[in-house]
Amino acid sequence: MSKIAIMGAMPEEIEPIINKLDNVDMTLYGANKYYEGSYHGQEVVVAYSKIGKVFATLTATVLIEKFGCDRLLFSGVAGAINDELNIGDLIIAKSLCQHDLDITAFGHPFGYVPEGDVSIDTDQTLRNIAQDVAKQKGLTLKEGIIATGDQFVANEERKNWIGTTFGADALEMEGASVAVVCNALNVPFFILRAISDSADMDASFNFDEFLESSAKISADFILSMVDELGR
Ligand code: ADE
């Protein structure tokens, strides 16, 4: 039977999921907690990584290599770049890039290192399933480019630079790490984010205010996807 990894970066992003699991068994590994359990009969392993690309890389790898997960769904919040996105709106990544990866001094584009790619696509089948779930819920689900970096962006100029350089619609701090790991290990993956702020001068204030409610919007959608995947 398949085992689905569900990953967030912060406790607030996975708590609404862990609360709904049956037969939960927690394992501490590499200074992170991994919750094995089932949701409506579907086996899942749920964990939060802590914030940032390095921690996210570790957790995604452990979910796949130690716990044997064969698909990975990420749930969390993001800052909006595209001004069609408002607080609480969902966005799924069509592809992800690293906005803070810079060896342009050697003539390479931003976000590129040799033998890598500027952007990595998420799994088309999982995106299609997400669109089916959205339709059932009467929601419109925006698909776009998500840019990842080890920075909380609270600056209009930086946000606009990321928007123009990568064509990005939203930004966060983990998604592209998960993409690199899953792409290298051939594990289908999906990144969902609900908007918590607009990466502008109000971002830290809005993030604190909307983290919990937006994280729950994303987590609830992920649980509906697990139901659909378990069918
Ligand atoms: N996640 C949510 N909001 C963010 C922001 N403004 N910058 C980076 N990551 C975020």
Instruction: Encode pLDDT of 59-115 as tens digits.
Output: 999 999 999 999 999 999 999 999 999 999 999 999 999 999 999 999 999 999 999
pLDDT tens for each residue of 116-152 = 999 999 999 999 999 999 999 999 899 999 999 999 9
Work out how many domains the chain is built from and give that number.
Answer: 1
End-to-end CA distance of the chain: 12
Residue 230 pLDDT class (50, 70, 90 cuts): confident
132 as an active site residue: the answer is no
Ligand 1 within 6 A of 210 CB? Answer: no
The residue whose C-alpha atom lies closest to atom 10 belonging to ligand 1 is 172
This prediction's pTM: 0.98
Ligand 1 within 6 A of 147 CB? Answer: no
Residue 191 pLDDT class (50, 70, 90 cuts): very high
Residue 183 pLDDT class (50, 70, 90 cuts): very high
Expressed in angstroms and rounded, the spacing between residue 44 Cα and the centre of ligand 1 is: 27
Cβ-based neighbours of 184, under 8 Å, separated by 6 or more: none
Catalytic residue (one of 12, 169, 172, 197): 197
155 token code pair? 């600056």
Name which of 141, 27, 32 is nearest 90 in CA terms. Answer: 141
Catalytic residue (one of 13, 43, 89, 123): 13
Determine if residue 174 is left, alpha or beta; phi over 0 gives left, psi from -120 to 50 gives alpha, anything else beta.
alpha
- What is the residue type of 96? L
Q: Which domain holds residue 217?
A: 3-229
197 as an active site residue: the answer is yes
pLDDT tens for each residue of 2-53 = 999 999 999 999 999 999 999 999 999 999 999 999 999 999 999 999 999 9
| CATH number of the domain within which 207 lies | 3.40.50.1580
Cβ atoms within 10 A of the Cβ of 190, count? 24
Ligand 1 within 6 A of 203 CB? Answer: yes
Expressed in angstroms and rounded, the spacing between residue 97 Cα and the centre of ligand 1 is: 15
